[in-house]
Chain A
Amino acid sequence: MSTRTLRLTTLLVAALLALTGCGSKAKTVTEPELHATADATPSTSGATVVKIQISGNTVTPAGTRVPVTKNAPVVLEIQSDKAGELHVHSSPEQHIEFPKGASALTLKFAQPGVIDVEDHALDKLIVQLEVR
Chain B
Amino acid sequence: MIWAHGLGGAKDLPVPAPLAIAGGMAALVISFCVLALAWRRPRYDASTQGHPLPAPMAAILESAGFAWLLRLLGLLFFGYLTWALVAGPDLTTNPVFGTFYVLVWVGIVPFSLLFGRVVRAVSPVRTLNLLIAKATGGDPSVGLRQYPARLGYWPAALGLFAFVWQELVNPDGAFLAPLRVWLAVYLAIMLIGAAIFGDEWLERADPFEVYSSLLANLSPWGRRADGRLVVRSPLANLDGLVARPGLVVTVSVLFGSTAFDSYKDSIRWVSFVDKLGIDPLLVNTVALVAFCAIIAGTFTVAAMTTGVGEDTPRSQLPLLLGHSVVPIIVGYMTAHYLSYFVELGLLTVILLSDPMVQGDILLGTANLSVSYFLSFHPSLLASLKVLAVVAGHIVGVIAAHDRAIKLLPKKHQVSGQLGMLIIMVAYTATGLYLLFGT
Contact = CB atoms under 8 A, between A and B. Distances in A.
Interface of A: 1-6, 8-10, 12-13, 16-17, 19-21, 23-29, 31, 62-65, 89-93, 109, 111-116, 123-125, 128, 130-132
Contacts of B178: 26
A63 B267 contact: yes
A128 B375 CA distance: 17
A111 B187 contact: no
Contacts of B85: 20
Contacts of A92: 9
Given A6-B144, A9-B195, A63-B271, A16 B176 contact: no
A26 B195 contact: no
Contact of A26 (B14, B90, B192, B375): B90
Contacts of A65: 267
Contact of A114 (B11, B129, B139, B143): B11
30 contacts: A1-B137, A1-B139, A2-B138, A4-B137, A5-B138, A5-B195, A9-B129, A9-B132, A13-B191, A20-B86, A20-B180, A21-B180, A25-B177, A26-B172, A31-B6, A63-B267, A89-B2, A89-B8, A89-B10, A90-B10, A91-B10, A113-B9, A113-B11, A113-B378, A114-B10, A114-B14, A123-B4, A128-B267, A130-B13, A132-B378
Contacts of A62: 271, 274
Interface in B2-32: 2, 4-14
A124 B274 contact: yes
A68 to B, nearest CB: 11
Interface of B: 2, 4-14, 82, 85-86, 90-92, 128-129, 132-133, 135-139, 142-144, 171-172, 175-178, 180-181, 183-184, 187-188, 191-192, 194-196, 265, 267, 270-271, 274, 343, 372, 375-376, 378
B183 to A, nearest CB: 7
A4 to B, nearest CB: 5
Given A5-B195, A17-B188, 20 more contacts: A1-B137, A2-B144, A4-B137, A5-B132, A8-B135, A9-B195, A16-B187, A19-B184, A20-B180, A21-B180, A26-B90, A29-B91, A29-B92, A112-B375, A112-B378, A113-B11, A115-B10, A116-B11, A131-B10, A132-B378
Contact of A13 (B10, B175, B176, B192): B192
Contacts of B12: 113-114
A20 B144 contact: no
Nearest to B372: A111
A122 B357 CA distance: 29
A91 B132 CA distance: 44
A5 B6 contact: no
A125 B275 CA distance: 12
A63 B270 contact: yes
B84 to A, nearest CB: 12
A6 B271 contact: no
B270 A125 contact: yes
Contacts of B91: 27, 29
A42 B183 CA distance: 49
Nearest to A95: B5
A132 B381 CA distance: 13
Contacts of A114: 10-14
Nearest to B92: A29
Contact of B375 (A16, A24, A63, A91): A91
Contact of A19 (B86, B177, B265, B270): B86
Nearest to B339: A113
A15 to B, nearest CB: 10
Nearest to B267: A63
Nearest to A31: B6
